[in-house]
Structure formats: structure tokens, C-alpha cells
Structure 1
Amino acid sequence: MSRGVNWKASVGLLGVGIKYLAVTMVIPLIVAVAYGEDAWVFLVSMALVAVIGLVVERVDPDPDLGPREALLFVSLAWLAAAAIGTIPYLLAGYGTASTVAHPVNALFESMSGFTTTGATVLGEISTERHSHAILMWRQLTQWLGGMGIIVLMIAILPEIAVNGAQLMESEAPGPELQKLTPRIEETARALWLIYFGFTVVYILILYGLHLLGMAPNMDLFNAIAHGFTTLPTGGFSPEADSIAAFSAAVQWVVIPFMIVAGVNFALFWHVLRGEAEVMLENAEFRTYAGAIAVVTAVLAVMLFRGAAPAIELGGATQGMAENSLRQAAFQIGSLLNSTGFATADFAQWDADAQILLMLTMFIGGSAGSTGGGVKIVRWLVVGKAIRRELFTSAHPDVVQPVRLSGNVVDEDAIRGIMAFTILYVVLFGVSAVFLSLDAARIGVQLTMLESTSASLATIGNIGPGFGRFGPFGSYLFLSDASKLLLIFLMWIGRLEIVPVLAVFVSAIDGQ
């Protein structure tokens, strides 16, 4: 029996997904028409993507996926989405000085979008420099990637739903997949409907603030654009100053929706069914909510006591209770679950505040959320497993299972979590060293904080780091080699490392 991977089956199914990705470009096309911009960019893009999808689909018109093929398909699907996403950037930038006219930059921006990382090489972000349609495409890529492009495909495409369970298991953020309904495609639809519902409510609230005169610049374009990037914890904004460009009322509205995005969406399904106790009894949710509350309180005190400069984008915080609390809640709500929005240039805050923010970036959202990072549930299991090892070292005759929310965690799951955590830390560390060395090669000196934050911000799909990679900075000055490394980190970070590496191992073993 062959241990290799039937790549034709994976590639053939990939063509189906590529073909339908062309349909999503209707939204920026409508924006282009509405603003009288170059609609041809998206008309040509849609035609090219549809043709590519049809050609790739012919590699295997009737694919049959096994576990290895499912892993390969999921890995390729995210690479293909990012590659396809570069087409509008390249066409719009052709013959101009746009930064995304360069293929590596276009791929960086597209991968950052689909993986909901939020790191950018766009340069100047404004509707004077880039069309409304291109900026909306940039926002839309994050919304498509938020709940997962594979989950979306399973929800709407019968030919992919046949292998839905394997595919969702490979793509799902976190170590476990909750099957909410008897049929996996119904589970996928339920998750996407909840995600869609939150997005619509959020957009209506933002635009409502504009109509009430509480957010003058939160017009319909901005409301939709930020709706597309908040729920997926993406962080892209068509405004150069991110959410700092808007009123305090807007910032207070954004905070709870960022926090919601980091919650396991399966818990909202239970709430809608009248089973709110399931959410309240969930250990991961309680830890997530507690972590946000505690770290926000600590940071708010630090800001109140003067951790931020007296004059900065977010306004003075020293001695200002409301602004200190708002800035703390916003930055923690944004970085803990990898959203990446900002209302202040925290790269200018003092060292203690920056260290606290970096530690926050390690935490991550919940399994089954749109948040990135290691995930709360993994830290809980790692902590309980370490505690068990210490206990059994003193009591070798005692058998003590690891429990979470009253349920015994499978030993295979524990080993998988340990393997992921080790791989995450090793890749993060090695990449940080490479970034420093490569930057020095081109005559740029990165501080340790800058290189480590850039590595962590991309593998954790967080976006902003510190120093030149701060919330109002850019990754544009890096070499192509460093950008390609960060593209790789964003890719494997979104798929949580193991599926991608498992494909390589399967390919090697099958030789």
C-alpha cells in the first residue's frame, strides 16, 4: 500500500475552490463602478481566476481524498488563495509606482489578508494613493479568511462537503473540532451564518453612529470595510491611522466585537439554542475572559501612571481614567486574539508596557474562533500536563488524567498540543534570528524587540509588532528573502503548523 500522497486529487479539488473565488470579486467590482474607478481590474481578474480554476479542476475531475490528500488540499488552498489574491494588486499597480506592483509585495499583502494577519507592505494607505476598490478587496480577503475558506467551501459546495469532516479538521483553528450538527456541511453553514450575522450587526452599528453624528468619517464605505476585518480579527483598515482615525464612540464599539471574534463560535451556537450555560461552564471561555480583564486592568493602571508619552496619536493617558481604560482595553482586545487594530502607537510606550503587550500576543484567542496565536485551550492543557508531571513525579503510583471542563483530554491530543507548542516556539525563535541577520545584510539594524515581534506577529497572524513594525509602521523595507520567510510564517501560522509539516513528512515517507 502506497504511503505517498495522490496530489492530483488534491489539485483537482483545488480548482473547484479557485473557480468560485472569482465570484467574490463582484464586491470590489461594485465598489469600482460606484466610485467611477478602473472596473476593468476586477473584470479581468474574475476572468483570469475562473479560467485558472477550470484548468486546474481538469487535473482530476472526480477527486477522492484520503487523510493525506485532505492535508495537502488544505495547505494548497491557502497558498492558492493568496496567489490568486495578488492578481488585482498586480493589475491595478501595473505601470505605476505602487508598492504592490512588485510580485513579492503583492503576495505578502494577499497572504496577510487571507490569513487575517494584518501586516502590510502597502506603503501609504489612502484612497488618494489606492482605489476604493483595491482597498475593499484588501478588506474582503480578511473576511473570507476569517472563518476559513475551506469551511466556506464546505458550506456551499456539495463536491467539497463529501470530504468535509477531514478538511475542517485540517483547517480548524485549535486542537479540536466541534461537530454541532449531524452533517458537517450543516455545521459549516451554522458557523458561517453566525459569523455573517455578527458582521452585519457590527456594520449597522458603525454606520448608525455615523448617521447619529457620533462618527463623522465612519461612512458606509468605512463601516463595511471595517466590518470585513474586525470579526475575522484581521486588522486591515483603509485609514492610515487605523481605528485611531475615528471617534472614541467608534473605539468603544469596536472593543466588544474584537473580543467576540476571539470566542469559540460554537459557543454562540449553543447560546442561540438557549444553552447559555455551555458558554459559562466552558473553561477556555472563562480563562479567555479572565485574561482580558486582568491584563486590561494592569495596562490601564500603567497608562494612567504615565506609560505612554504625553503627546501621541491616542491622546494623553496619564491621569486620564477614561482614555487609559479605553486604550488599554482596545490594545489588549486587539493583540490578545490577533486582531491588529490600534488606537495608539504602542511602539512609543515604555518598555514595561511593551513587554506586557508582547506577552499578551503569545496568548491567542479560543479554539474555533477567528483569532490567531497559540490559543487559550493549548495553554490550559500545557499547564495541566506540566502540573500532572510534577505531581506524578512525587506520586509515581497515581494515575491522573488531564481534565478540561470536566472532560478527560485524550493523551494523543496532549502530545499533539505539546508538539505544536514546541514547533511554534522553535520556528518563532529561528525566524527572529534570520530576520536580524538578513536585515544586517542589507544594511538595516533591527533591535531584538523588532525582530522577535515581527516573527511573532506573522506566525501568530497578529500583524503589528514593535519599532518599525509597529501599528503604524510597515514591513516594506525588508528584503524579498525576509518577506518570503514572513509569508511562509503567515501561511503555516494560519494552518497551525502541523498540517503543512505533515504534508512534507508524508511526501518524504512516500518517496
Structure 2
Amino acid sequence: MRIRTDWRASVALVGTVLKYLSVPLVIPIVVALIYSDPVFPFVATIVLTIAIGHGLEQLSPEPDLQVREAMLFVAISWLAVAMIGAVPYVIAGWGTESTLAHPVNALFESMSGFTTTGATVLGSISLEDHSHAIMMWRQLTQWLGGMGIIVLMVAILPELAVSGAQLVESEAPGPQLQKLTPRIAETARILWLVYFAFTVVYIAILYGFNLAGMADNMTLYNAIAHGFTTLPTGGFSPEADSVAAFSAIVQWTAIPFMIVAGTNFALFWHVFSGDGHRFVRNSEFRAYVSAIAGLTVLLAGMLYVGTAPALGDLGGVTEGVVENSLRQSAFQIASLLTSTGYATSDFAAWSGTGKVVLLFAMLVGGCAGSTGGGVKVVRWLIVFKVLRRELFTASHPEVVRPIRLGGNVVDEDAIRGVLGFTFMYLFIFALATLVIMLDASRIGYSLEPLEAFSASLATIGNIGPGFGSLGPFGSYLEFPYSSKLLMVFLMWIGRLEIIPVLVLFTGGFWTR
């Protein structure tokens, strides 16, 4: 059997991506110099990255990407970047008792960062043990992964522009790619420009609260750190208490920016271009906002009367206080529905009714074309419309009824793709839950079914926190290394929406 997919072309371009990864590594070096932290972990990683990248580029001096080569390039680029991203953690922790000194823990944290999952092996004590530079690198990995590493590469590398549409299609979240301009490279630049602009505005607002005396602990470092992880819906925080460490005004400000991050960024470009009606006409955005509003009102009512936390003041919620109930509800719903993963209260301590609402929010996901994870709102809309059509045609078999979304007919091939993705997503999620439970029992680790369930959902959905010991102030540290590697795989395929990774394991992909 002869391999006909040109893997050398794909791997060579992975080398180019790795070489460019050395550029953002300069940022933690600057932070290290400011705070007198060691710079060697990042200098060594830059040298290693450039050397590996240059070596891989020699495999194919003039790579040509077709459809299969593009999918292979996207999939292994994300894996390679996560592996390189783990190197500073390992070097910084070498010879110490640092959690991230172990390569598996470092890879878990790095993959969680680049895929904007936000799951962590660092507890509150571990966070305090790491330097400002290491923590800033941790934050920066999420910002780089938010809009997409390959989208960024398409925007700046002319050699990727030819295959740009296929590359962006393989990486971008959601079942469809919306080209804003005839040239895909220009579209990529627009998306990154909008993403960058929102990040800068958010950082400025956060630091403005500090200057105004409204959030004394929101230093410039913290403002940048949270700007790097809010817009990509990542959820990493250098604070052990996440956003609960800051004042109520900071928490209220984070909510609209998380909602923005879960919105299709193409819509903002249309608004900036003078077509503000796009938001109103977009059926996915209307459903997205309705889901957030409905779940927020439901949970706020439960928190106010005390049925969600079960006990007053449990998990950071004060029963009977309107502002507190509304803020805690809006924040947690926006955070989990968009897969950001921040928290202002310990919802792991809430009762079952509150957790059910949060679990539903986790399953919804953000919009296509956003930085949010999960199944995506547009897919659920199509699934529900298909179910409604099946019920209708059961009694009217002679009627041909197309699926419409926003007034446009959805192609049947696209519908099959959505149904196929949703089935694979739920199947892999269920199978991973079973494997995680069996693996925990193998080493005698006590794991409740809900914890295993949430661990699988939180990693494949790139959500981050779960329930029980995996709550917003907990960590994944106690899982066996085999389970952590499984979760690394789940984060990888979840960020790339399953197909570009799983297709690599089929014989037909390699032999044409």
C-alpha cells in the first residue's frame, strides 16, 4: 500500500508555524525582565522552536497543500504547538516539586491553553508557586489559540493564502465559513483585527477601574492577563479565586465581553461596516442571546429564593439579594455557555437543580465563527429543525420541506454534516466518560459519575471547569496520567471540531 498524501508538505509548513511561535515567546521574556524572573525557560524554548521549525521546513522547500494535506497540516500544527508550549513549563519546573515539571502535566496545561479550554492541573497553591512570566505565557497561549493559530498564519504568510480557505475551514469553529472579502487572507486579517481591538478595549477598561480606585487589585498585569483569556473564551486566571478575586464592577464588565467572545466575529465587522441589521437578521445570534437571557433569568430566580445553592451563602451566593443573584447567574451562564470557564462563585457546591441549569448551558456552546467552544448554537438550531421536519413528514410523507435558516435553504449535505458531527461529539463524549471512570477506579481514585461526566464534557467542549473536585476552584491534578492524555486528545479534537483529527486515523485518508 502506497501513501499518496504528501505528508512532507504538511510537516514542512508545521515547521514554519513553529518558527513564528518564537515571536510571542518574547512577551514572557519582557515580563521576566520586569519582575526579575528567570528568562532561560523562554530563551531555550525560542532556540528549540526555531531549530525544530527550520529542520522541518527542509522536508519540502516548496510545499503545495491540497485538501488532505491542508487537514493534516492543521491537525498536527495544533498538536505541535501545544507540545512546544509545554517546554517553558517543564524547564522552569526542572529540579523542583512544581506540578508542571512533569511533561504530561505540562502538556495538559499547554493544550488546555492553546485550545482555550481552561482546564488546569494547578490548584490555588500551585498558582502562587509560578513566576509572573510563566503565568503570562499561560495566559498568552489562550489568546493565540482563541481566533486560531492557522487563521493568523493565513493572515500573515503569503504561501498559505492559496490553500487559505481549506485551512481556515478546517480550523474555524462552526459548520460554515463566512468569507468577508473575496480573498481569504484578507478575511483572516479582518477577524484578527476585530479580535485584537476588543482585547485592547477590554484591557483598557479593566485597568481604568484600577486607576479610578474601583478595583485596586486589577493591576496592569492582571488587566492584560485577563484580557488575554476573556476574548478567546479561555478562562485561565493568575488569581486562585478567578474573577471572584475582583470587585463586582469587574465581574459585571466581564459578562458582556464574554458574550461578545461567543458571538460570530464576522457580525461585528458588518456592524463596523455600517450594516448593523445583521445582528437582528441573524437567527443564530437571536437564539444565542435568547438562551443566555432565558437561562440567566431562570438561574437568578433559583439563586434568589435559595433553591440552587440549597443553603444561604453557599458557593459565594447570598440568598435574597437581587444584585448578587442576578450577577452570579449572569456571570456563570455567560461563562459556561460561551465555554470561557471563569467563575465568581463555587458552583460545584451548589445543589443539583442549579447544576442542571449550568450543565444545560455547557451543552449549548457559542456561535459559529466565535472563539466559543461546545456544539455551537447553529448546529442545535439545525438539529431541532430536522427533528421538527421528521415529525411533520411522518404524517405528510408527500410533502418536500427544506430546512431554512435565516430565510435561506440549508443544503442537505450540510445537514448531514451537522448531524454526523453532533452524533460523533455525543458518542465520543459518552465513551470518554466511561474510560475516565474505569481509569480512575484502576488506581483507586474516588470519582463520582457526575465528575467523570463533567470532565469529559469540559474537555471535548473546551469549557474547562466541571463539577465536584473539578469545580471552578479545583483542578485535574489527581487524575491518572493516562486520563490526562485522553483529555489532551479530547481538547485537541474538540477545538478542531473532531473531523480534521479523526480523519487522520482512517486508511482512506492516506491512500486516496
For 1:86 and 1:509, locate their aligned partners in 2 and report how far apart those are by CA, in whole Å: 29
Identical aligned residues as a percent: 65
Query: 1:478 maps to what in 2?
Result: 479
Cα distance per residue 1:140-189 (max 9 Å; x no partner): 00000000000000111112222111100111100000000011000000
> Whole-Å Cα distance in 2 between the matches of residues 102 and 126 of structure 1?
13
CA contact (8 A) 1:150 1:171 kept: yes
- Residues 361-440 of structure 1 correspond to what in structure 2 (within 5 A)? 361-440=362-441
Q: Partner of 2:181 in structure 1?
A: 181
Specify which of 311, 314, 319 is matched with residue 313 of structure 2: 311
Q: CA RMSD in A?
A: 1.4
Distance 1:96 1:123 in 2: 16
- In the alignment, structure 1 residue 100 sits paired with structure 2 residue 100: yes
Question: Are 2:204 and 1:204 equivalent residues in the alignment?
Answer: yes
Mind listing any 5+ residue stretches in structure 1 that lack a counterpart? Answer: none
CA–CA separation in structure 2 for the residues paired with 1:455 and 1:151: 27
Whether the 8 Å contact between 1:6 and 1:69 is mirrored in structure 2 is yes
CA deviations over 1:292-339 (Å, ceiling 9, x no partner): 00000000000001122423453x421010000000000000000100
Q: State the one-letter code of the partner of 2:294.
A: V
Aligned ranges 1:334-349 → 2 under 5 Å: 334-349=335-350
CA contact 1:292–1:332 (8 Å) conserved in 2? yes
Deviations 1:350-387 (A, max 9, x none): 10000111111000000000000000000000011111
- Would the aligned equivalents of 2:459 and 2:494 in 1 still touch at CA under 8 Å? yes
Deviations 1:36-95 (A, max 9, x none): 110122111111111111011111111101101111000001101100101110110111
Mapped partners of 1:114, 1:161: distance in 2? 23
Deviations 1:212-244 (A, max 9, x none): 010010000000000000000000000000000
SS in 1 for 2:465: coil
CA distance in 1 between counterparts of 2:510 and 2:157 reads 32
Read off the aligned partner of 1:446 and give its amino acid letter: L
Map of 1:227 onto structure 2: 227
**Paired residues of 1:99 and 1:105 also in contact (CA < 8 A):** yes
SS, match of residue 257 in structure 2: helix
CA separation in 1, counterparts of 2:49 and 2:314? Answer: 44
| Alignment of structure 1 residues 30-41 onto 2, 5 Å | 30-41=30-41
Secondary structure, aligned partner of 2:259: helix
State how far apart, in whole Å, the 2-side matches of 1:469 and 1:323 are. 24
1:503 to partner: Cα distance: 2.2
Contact 2:315 2:347 in 1 (8 A): no
Rounded Cα–Cα distance in structure 2 between residues aligned with 1:104 and 1:312: 34
**CA–CA distance in structure 2, aligned partners of residues 356 and 6 of structure 1:** 47
The answer on 1:59 being equivalent to 2:59 is: yes
Written as runs of structure 1 = structure 2, the 5 A alignment for 1:58-457 is 58-124=58-124, 128-306=128-306, 307-308=308-309, 309-312=311-314, 314=316, 316-457=317-458
Which residue identity does 1:432 align to in structure 2? T
CA offsets per residue over residues 437-482 of structure 1, 9 Å max, x none? Answer: 1111111121111110000000000000000111011100000110
Paired residue for 1:461?
462
Q: Please give the per-residue CA displacement for 1:249-299, whole angstroms capped at 9, x wherever unaligned.
A: 100000000010000000001000110101111000000000000000000
- SS of 1:24's equivalent in the other structure is coil
Contact 1:14–1:73 at 8 Å: present in 2 too? yes
Equivalenced residues, count: 510
Is contact 2:32-2:133 (8 Å) kept?
yes
Whole-angstrom CA distance in 2 between matches of 1:38 and 1:320: 47
2: CA distance between counterparts of 1:194 and 1:312?
39
1:128: Cα distance to partner? 4.0
Distance, in Å, in 1 between the alignment partners of 2:367 and 2:125 is: 31
Rounded to whole Å, the distance in 2 between the matches of 1:350 and 1:502 is: 41
Unaligned runs of 5+ in 2: none
Contact 2:68 2:509 in 1 (8 A): no
Offset from partner CA, 1:114-157 (integer Å, 9 cap, x none): 00000001234566410000000000000000000000001111
C-alpha contact 2:230 2:257 (8 A) present in aligned 1: yes
Q: CA offset at residue 388 of structure 1?
A: 1.0
Q: For the residues of structure 2 that align with 1:169 and 1:508, how far apart are their CA atoms?
A: 18
> How far apart in 2 are the matches of 1:141 and 1:458?
16
Deviations 1:378-399 (A, max 9, x none): 0000011111111112111111
Give the Cα separation in 1 of the matches to 2:2 and 2:94: 46
Question: What is the distance in 2 between the residues matched to 1:291 and 1:271?
Answer: 22
TM-score by length of 1: 0.98
Alignment CA distance shift 1:37-1:379 (3 Å): same
CA contact (8 A) 2:173 2:496 kept: yes
Residues 458, 489 of structure 1: 8 Å contact kept: yes
2:30 and 2:127 map into 1 onto residues whose CA distance is 16
Instruction: Provide the residue aligned with 1:21 in structure 2.
Output: 21
TM-aligned CA distance change 1:129 to 1:356, over 3 Å? same
Q: CA deviation at 1:489?
A: 0.2
Matched residue SS, 1:138: helix
2:42 partner letter: F
* Preserved contact between residue 127 and residue 240 of structure 2 (Cα < 8 Å): no
What are the residue-to-residue correspondences of 1:41-52 with 2, within 5 Å?
A: 41-52=41-52
Tell me how far apart the structure 1 counterparts of residues 406 and 3 of structure 2 sit (CA, whole Å): 38
